Amino acid sequence: MNWNIPSSFGFRHSFFRAALVTLLFTIAFTSGAAEIRIATYNVENYIDHTASGRQLKSAESKAKVRESIRALKADVIALQEMGLESALQELRSSLKAEGLNYPYWKHVRGYDTNIFVAVLSKYPFTAERPHTNASYLVNGRRLQMSRGIAEVDIKVNNTYTFTLFTAHLKSKRPIGIANEADMREEEARVLRGLIDERLKANPNANLVIMGDMNDTKDSKPIKTLVGRGRTKLTDTRPPERNGDTLPAEKPGYDPRNIAWTHFYGLEDSYSRIDYIFLSPGMAREWNPAESYVLALPNWGLASDHRPLVITVSAQDK
């Protein structure tokens, strides 16, 4: 923004002129309706330690991850399948060297010692509530969530804040101790419980809940997470920006535009298992026209998932 302040105002000294520009910018920033971009991305085993037993992330794959993140131009991004904190710091420093700086960050551990969730932000955190030891019951047996849940309060300006949750629910890979679908549903119930706590305290709270939920929209885990009634979450379902404009063919159906986020090579299947949900209060600020799933050539070099980004107005409505 550029203000041309005439000398007739009496601010001939450069110090006073600079102070006035700063004041005007501050007023515009804190009272305006600037838009912010919020993204989520499963970066598929962004691993930098051999003790994990997983394949280390290659330099080429890391470069493609960074290309994807730069293309999103996100102000805040949640990450899943991030390695140790050292891997997150390597990503931050590499992005900064390429012109994208995220000064605020959170890395959240869980029962799984190899992959974690994380948040990168251009805006400061006013509170951090990592959930690292969440557990639940399946058939009378208590189990721990494999990945932690990140919860941070983010201050965009003096009048707009929001709370971000990011999670990575149980995969569909079978496991001997319990049914994987039951585990995922209970993990979704844990996350929904945290959401309900925030909405009970403030029904108009600005909440964004996102990440790799590892199931489709009609599944029990997703229905559990979305909820119902006055506290039902909005599924933003960002599609590709490929020119598709056709409406849904039937009431209750999604349109036929392309919104898949994950490719599973064994089945040659594409599915939407990554989500960005909004609370009723924050959904009022959402701009669907500026929200999409990123489509890049050779996207799969970075991850088996594609990132999503939404845009919201930084002003309560």
- Name the pLDDT band for 11 (thresholds 50, 70, 90): very low
- Name the pLDDT band for 150 (thresholds 50, 70, 90): very high
Beta strand pairing status for 161-168 and 104-108?
Answer: unpaired
Could you tell me the domains of the chain? Answer: 37-313 (3.60.10.10)
CB atoms within 10 A of CB 82: 26
| Calpha distance 168→304 (Å, rounded) | 14
pLDDT tens-digit readout, 161-191 = 999 999 999 999 999 889 999 999 999 999 9
pLDDT tens-digit readout, 271-296 = 999 999 999 999 999 999 999 999 99
Residue 192, SS3 per DSSP: helix
pLDDT tens-digit readout, 100-133 = 999 999 999 999 999 999 999 999 999 999 999 9
Q: Can you spell out the DSSP letters for 138-171?
A: ETTEEEE-SS-BEEEEEE-SSS-EEEEEEEEPPP
Measured over the CA atoms of residue 294, residue 298, residue 302 and residue 306, the dihedral's sign is positive
pLDDT tens-digit readout, 298-317 = 999 999 999 999 999 999 99
Mean pLDDT of the chain: 91
Partner residues linked to 167 by β-bridges? 211
pLDDT recorded at residue 53: 77
Burial of 185 from C-beta contacts in 10 A (0-12 / 13-18 / 19+)? buried
Q: Is the pLDDT of residue 71 over 70?
A: yes
